[in-house]
Chain A
Amino acid sequence: MSTPLLKIEGIHKRFGGLHALNDVALSINAGEIYGLIGPNGAGKTTLFNVLTGLYQPDEGSFTFNGKDLFRQKPYVVVESGIARTFQNIRLFANMTALENVMVGQHVRTSASVFGAVFRGPKAKAEEAAIAARAQELLDYVGIGKRKDELARNLSYGDQRRLEIARALATSPTLLALDEPAAGMNPKETDQLKALMEKIRADGVTILLIEHDVKLMMGLCDRIAVLDYGKKIAEGIPEQVKNDPRVIEAYLGVAPE
């Protein structure tokens, strides 16, 4: 088997007395949609924050695309090709949809203060390219017509899409989505599913946290289950669904 795109091993994260992540290991292969499920408080979002550099893990190892990202700053993580969305949408509320996506390209562009002030041919071209790419991404997620709306005024579903567009603007290899379907109606969820499949088809690996088990089973290539900060199962959806430990974690009792 080829080396995985992302590989973490022995990750621990403690908050005071709380052992939020306890010896977590997982590996994600290029091109797959990898699901992460678990009851509330199982440590999914904490793991997400560790993988995107917002939290520094206490122990463990973390390599991505052959690069050591253990305890790296978020901007290094993003530069290496991991982008994310947030469970409780964190857009730049008073910027337009287009500007939000333009900010996403920060890490892939380089104009300095001098470039900004003198606006030479290079800076001008870069600025135009940023705007064009942003528009393209808005079209890609299906909200191209709303580019001049303030992010705060978009509908809930559109805000979720904008967050994905903004994350894609960083040109990631791995896109990490934290409950993107939360609060969506079935129709919106279906559209979202199609969008994720499209993103994968375009060569981006996806890490997904979601509560909607039906969506996960139909979408993910592999799923890991977290409970109390530990990985209790991992495998193809069918396996995970029938794993007694998973059922116990969700239902609180072992099946007979």
Chain B
Amino acid sequence: MQSKKQIITFAALAVVLAILPWAITGGFENGKSWLRAVDFALLYIMLALGLNIVVGFAGLLDLGYIAFYAVGAYSFALLNSPHLAAVLPAWLMHPPLLVMLLIAACVAGVFGVLLGTPTLKLRGDYLAIVTLGFGEIIRIFLNNLDRPVNITNGPQGINNISKVNIAGYDLGRPIEWFGLKFDTVHLYYYLILAFCCLIIFVTLRLQRSRIGRAWVAIREDEIAANAMGINTRNVKLLAFAMGASFGGVSGALFASFQGFVSPESFVLMESIMVLCMVVLGGMGHIPGVILGAILVSITPEVLRDVINPLQSAVFGERLFDPENLRMLIFGLAMIIIMLLRPEGLWPSKRRAREFHEHEEEAKA
């Protein structure tokens, strides 16, 4: 089925992805922090793909998506740190990676259904604001559940989360293989990449399936979907659950990579950023969403390094706080991209066509 060209492209991509961390750490002065940024970009790709199922496929605007990332991260943190070790049964602590990720996915999925159940009747922006509220509720609870019983350790968050352990290898320590020294950032790069690929695969498969078509049908016309015998309630809940479970897996990997979690990582702005990745990239189009995730997560990092030399070059001195300036430029970029390409940077051919027809209608 696959053409030769596709296979070659695929192989080339695999090689590039395999050597990318070495090119980064070898080629740049502060390569490790760059590689860290790439690791985060991979986590964001998972998040964006998860949200894309809800927003892009099923057409349900979710502004509280980061809550599921939080749920995954805290699930991992609680089971893999000393914080609750004294209270929880020992057999539950430090589960193997795959079991842990399955737990994270399931817990997040359950939260997805919890959010979905009362809100399914709501349409459009009402749903948006309720999901936003849900996200905030989760965050506020994480922030305050340190008393009367200390579960989340409040604003301080949970520290000393152990690194992943695979087949006896502790990813927290450098490993020597074939004369190459794999640091934690390298190891996590491959780990996260593997799960990222898995999620891309799952998304692709889902898109071209009975379930994926049902999602899109609901997005296109919920009443018609209903009349075609789609159980819209269950199919929407499934979208919430699937999207949430992707978030949960990503969150668990985040917790272990970062080594600590706190409510600060799960503010509304994060939800909004993930939504921006989906929309800027090209809603519903998997390659577009991946591109969006990479751009939105990497651009601020690039700006971080570029902004001060740029300021000095333009004004001869550092006039502005670089942190604010880079976010300002980032915000401007978002506006400009949307104005120039409202359908996203890399939409599906179909969607691009649809949009340009609108444009022509508007002109006529």
List the interface of chain A (C-beta within 8 A of B).
52-54, 73-75, 77-79, 83-84, 86, 90-95, 99, 102-107, 109, 111-113, 115-117, 119, 123, 126-127, 130, 150, 152, 166-167, 169-170
Q: In the complex, which of the residues B202, B213, B221, B350 contacts A102, with contact meaning CB atoms closer than 8 Å?
A: B213
Q: In the complex, which of the residues B210, B217, B227, B229 contacts A111, with contact meaning CB atoms closer than 8 Å?
A: B210
Q: In the complex, which of the residues B209, B211, B223 contacts A54, with contact meaning CB atoms closer than 8 Å?
A: B223
Verify if B196 is at the interface (C-beta below 8 Å from A): no
CB <8 Å contact, A117 and B227: no
Contacts of B210 in A (CB 8 A): 102, 105-106, 109, 111, 115-116, 126-127, 130
* Shortest CB distance A171–B (Å): 10
Contacts of B214 in A (CB 8 A): 103, 106
- B interface, size bucket: 20 to 34
CB <8 Å contact, A113 and B225: no
Contacts of A74 in B (CB 8 A): 226-227, 229
Whether A117 touches B220, Cβ cut-off 8 Å, given contacts A75-B230, A166-B228, is no
Interchain Cβ contacts under 8 Å between A and B, 21 examples: A52-B227, A54-B226, A73-B231, A74-B226, A75-B230, A90-B223, A94-B354, A95-B220, A103-B214, A106-B228, A107-B229, A111-B211, A113-B206, A116-B206, A116-B210, A117-B201, A117-B206, A123-B209, A166-B228, A169-B228, A170-B229
Contact with A along B190-230 (1 / 0, CB 8 A): 00000000000110011001111110110011011111111
List the interface of chain B (C-beta within 8 A of A).
201-202, 205-206, 209-214, 216-217, 220-221, 223-232, 238, 242, 350-351, 353-354
CB <8 Å contact, B206 and A90: no
Closest CB pairs A-B (n = 3): A78-B229, A107-B229, A116-B209
CB <8 Å contact, B209 and A111: yes
Contacts of A77 in B (CB 8 A): 229
Whether A107 touches B206, Cβ cut-off 8 Å, given contacts A92-B216, A93-B221, A94-B220, is no
Whether A93 touches B220, Cβ cut-off 8 Å, given contacts A111-B209, A116-B210, A127-B210, is yes
Contacts of A84 in B (CB 8 A): 227
Contacts of A103 in B (CB 8 A): 213-214, 217, 225, 228, 230
In the complex the two chains form, what is the Cα distance from A99 to B219 in whole Å? 14
Q: In the complex, which of the residues B206, B220, B228, B351 contacts A170, with contact meaning CB atoms closer than 8 Å?
A: B228
* Shortest CB distance A81–B (Å): 10
CB <8 Å contact, A92 and B223: no
In the complex the two chains form, what is the Cα distance from A87 to B48 in whole Å? 38
CB <8 Å contact, B350 and A79: no
CB <8 Å contact, B350 and A92: no
Contacts of A54 in B (CB 8 A): 223, 226-227
Looking at chain B's contact residues, the main secondary structure is: helix
Can you name the residue of chain A whose Cβ is closest to the Cβ of B205? A117
In the complex the two chains form, what is the Cα distance from A102 to B228 in whole Å? 10
Other than the known A103-B230, A167-B228, what 9 A-B pairs have Cβ atoms closer than 8 Å?
A74-B226, A75-B226, A78-B227, A86-B224, A95-B216, A95-B217, A106-B214, A113-B206, A150-B350
Can you name the residue of chain B whose Cβ is closest to the Cβ of A90? B224
In the complex the two chains form, what is the Cα distance from A86 to B209 in whole Å? 26
In the complex the two chains form, what is the Cα distance from A78 to B214 in whole Å? 15
Contacts of B206 in A (CB 8 A): 113, 116-117
* Shortest CB distance A167–B (Å): 8
Contacts of B224 in A (CB 8 A): 86, 90-92
Contacts of B212 in A (CB 8 A): 116
CB <8 Å contact, B229 and A79: yes
* Shortest CB distance B195–A (Å): 14
CB <8 Å contact, A113 and B238: yes
Contacts of A123 in B (CB 8 A): 209
* Shortest CB distance A164–B (Å): 13
* Shortest CB distance B204–A (Å): 10
Contacts of A130 in B (CB 8 A): 210
* Shortest CB distance B239–A (Å): 11
Contacts of A116 in B (CB 8 A): 205-206, 209-212
* Shortest CB distance B356–A (Å): 13
Can you name the residue of chain A whose Cβ is closest to the Cβ of B353? A150
CB <8 Å contact, A106 and B221: no
Contacts of A90 in B (CB 8 A): 221, 223-224, 227
CB <8 Å contact, A106 and B223: no
Contacts of B211 in A (CB 8 A): 111-113, 116
Can you name the residue of chain A whose Cβ is closest to the Cβ of B218? A92
Whether A127 touches B209, Cβ cut-off 8 Å, given contacts A75-B226, A107-B228, is yes
Whether A86 touches B202, Cβ cut-off 8 Å, given contacts A95-B220, A103-B213, A116-B209, is no
CB <8 Å contact, B213 and A115: no
Most chain B CB atoms below 10 A, which of A103, A117, A167: A103
Q: In the complex, which of the residues A83, A94, A102 contacts B351, with contact meaning CB atoms closer than 8 Å?
A: A94
In the complex the two chains form, what is the Cα distance from A54 to B242 in whole Å? 27
In the complex the two chains form, what is the Cα distance from A54 to B227 in whole Å? 7
In the complex the two chains form, what is the Cα distance from A123 to B201 in whole Å? 16
Whether A92 touches B229, Cβ cut-off 8 Å, given contacts A116-B210, A150-B350, is no
* Shortest CB distance B160–A (Å): 35
* Shortest CB distance B208–A (Å): 8
